[in-house]
Amino acid sequence: MTPRKSPQAPPHCPNPDCRFHCGDTSSWRWIKNGRFTAGRSGRSTQRYICRDCGRSFSTRTFRSTYWLKRPDIFLRVARGLVSCSGFRQLAAGLGVSPQTVARHAARLGRQSLLFHETMRKKAPVQEPLALDSFVSFTYSQYFPTHFHFPMGRASHFAYGFTESECRRSGTMTRAQRARREFLERTLGRPDPKAREKDVAAILRMVVEGASGLDLATDEDRAYPRAIRRSGIDVRQHTTSSRAARTTRNPLFPVNLMDLQVRHAGANHKRETISFSKTVRSAIERMWLTLAWKNYVKPFSEKTRGATPAQRAALTDRKWTFRQIFRRRRFPERVGLPERWRAHFEGTTPTRVYGSREIRVPRYAY
């Protein structure tokens, strides 16, 4: 009795605990439950009830702007965030509060992650990889975060990332050293093996199933340890980080990614005041940047070729943010590895906030 072919028909039950949330929904039944008008558009929306679990929902439930009061600015926030705007600048330009921009940014990051995982799963890695860690900081320079990226050497596709909280290193004045001691005494010290463990984790997630792949890295000693820990069969080649950073350098894709992330994201500029205040928001913004680099941006700005995702044979077309965020994706339907589940749920802690950090409410993805 339920018509299922109409383009407006709900695709599945939005309740993750309902048996018609994932998998085969051909026998799913719902009933129409009136219409309502809400939001600024003044358009009326169809409401439904799931016949199986009783969950009420509407056509809006399946939009990526679900629950947002200003769906009209969603794509503008996305474009702003990859064009080097800070939350405050964007908010001022759009006439909304910085908190509104932050909420949109979080949603964009989570939906980017789900989109990427849907695409990435289409085929195993079949090209040599380059791996490097992108270093930025959150909250203050005493809290560096490393983002580990395996990238396709031929496609320049970024397969994903994990992050590690690290100890501040490098040259410090006596006062800075004392401040670091104080912070470490009160907040604890980051795990010295974090990088090794987190690189191993991303390798397992991305390279799983493939064997004998080539992996280019610099001479950082954490990488061979991470490879051993991962149990993944890869052939590592090292290139000195002092080698000329030309296109011939096997690490070119990661050097370029580093440059693009810093160029596109205001939060990763050197000597900036728009740095991310939490690791969680840095992660979400990184996912948006990754989606933009992989699926939207041509491989070369000069020749306007295919995107990295096209070159990695994961899609046959260029995507726009409008297409990527047309419909809402659900984590249970996509199926995320555990590490990325934490990215999605926003549970990665920021050391300086401890348990005071505010968690994202579950409905708000």
Nearest distance in Å: CB 309, Zn ion:
33
| Among 46-54, 93-101, 175-183, 214-222, the segment contacting Zn ion (CB under 5 A) | 46-54
Q: Which of residues 200-219 bind Zn ion (CB under 5 A)?
A: none
User: Which position has the token pair 């909250």?
Assistant: 139
Among 50, 68, 254, 264, binds Zn ion (CB under 5 A): 50
Which residue reads 């794509």 in tokens?
75
Query: Is the CB of 14 or the CB of 308 nearer to Zn ion?
Result: 14
Q: How far is the CB of 55 from Zn ion (least distance, A)?
A: 5
Nearer to Zn ion, 31 or 123 (CB): 31
Nearer to Zn ion, 56 or 140 (CB): 56
Helix (H, G, I), strand (E, B) or coil at 163: strand
Nearer to Zn ion, 52 or 191 (CB): 52
Of 54 and 170, which has the nearer Cβ to Zn ion?
Answer: 54
Of residues 9 and 178, the one with the C-beta less far from Zn ion:
9
CB of 18 to Zn ion, least distance (A): 3
What minimum distance in Å lies between the beta carbon of 84 and Zn ion? 42
Are 294 and 158 in contact, with CB atoms under 8 Å apart? yes
Closest CA to 66 of 338, 340, 330: 330
| Nearer to Zn ion (CB atom), residue 18 or residue 183 | 18
Q: Contact at 8 Å (CB) between 192 and 165?
A: no
Residue 329 to residues 7, 54, 107, 116, 332: CA-CA distances in angstroms? 17, 21, 11, 11, 9
- Residue 135's contacts (CB-CB under 8 Å, 6 or more residues apart) are 144, 145, 146, 147, 166
Residue 296 found at the interface with Zn ion (CB under 5 A): no
Q: Where are the alpha helices (DSSP H) in the chain?
A: 74-81, 87-94, 98-120, 174-187, 194-207, 222-230, 252-264, 279-291, 308-311, 321-324, 331-334, 338-345
What's the chain's length in residues? 365
Stretch that binds Zn ion, among 51-59, 178-186, 192-200, 305-313 (CB under 5 A): 51-59
Q: Residue 326 Cβ, how far from Zn ion at the closest point, in Å?
A: 23
Please work out the total of residues on this chain that contact Zn ion, with binding judged by CB under 5 A: 7
Tell me the DSSP string of 53-88. Answer: T--EEEGGGGSTTTT-S-GGGHHHHHHHHTTT--HH
Of positions 22, 53, 84, 360, contacts Zn ion by CB under 5 A: 53
Q: How far is the CB of 56 from Zn ion (least distance, A)?
A: 10
Question: Strand, helix or coil at 48?
Answer: strand
Closest alpha carbon to 314 in 108, 126, 148, 78: 126
C-alpha dihedral over 304, 308, 313, 317, to 10 degrees?
Answer: -50
Report the site for Zn ion in 55-94 (rule: CB under 5 A): 55
Q: Which is nearer to Zn ion, 18 or 84 (CB)?
A: 18
- CA 335, distance to chain mean position in Å, is 15
**Distance from C-alpha of 74 to C-alpha of 83, rounded to nearest angstrom:** 15
The site string for Zn ion over 5-44 (x = CB under 5 A, - otherwise) reads: --------x-x--x--------------------------
Shortest reach from residue 21's CB to Zn ion, in Å: 7
- Minimum gap (Å) between residue 189 Cβ and Zn ion: 47
Where on the chain is the footprint of Zn ion (CB under 5 A)? 13, 15, 18, 50, 52-53, 55
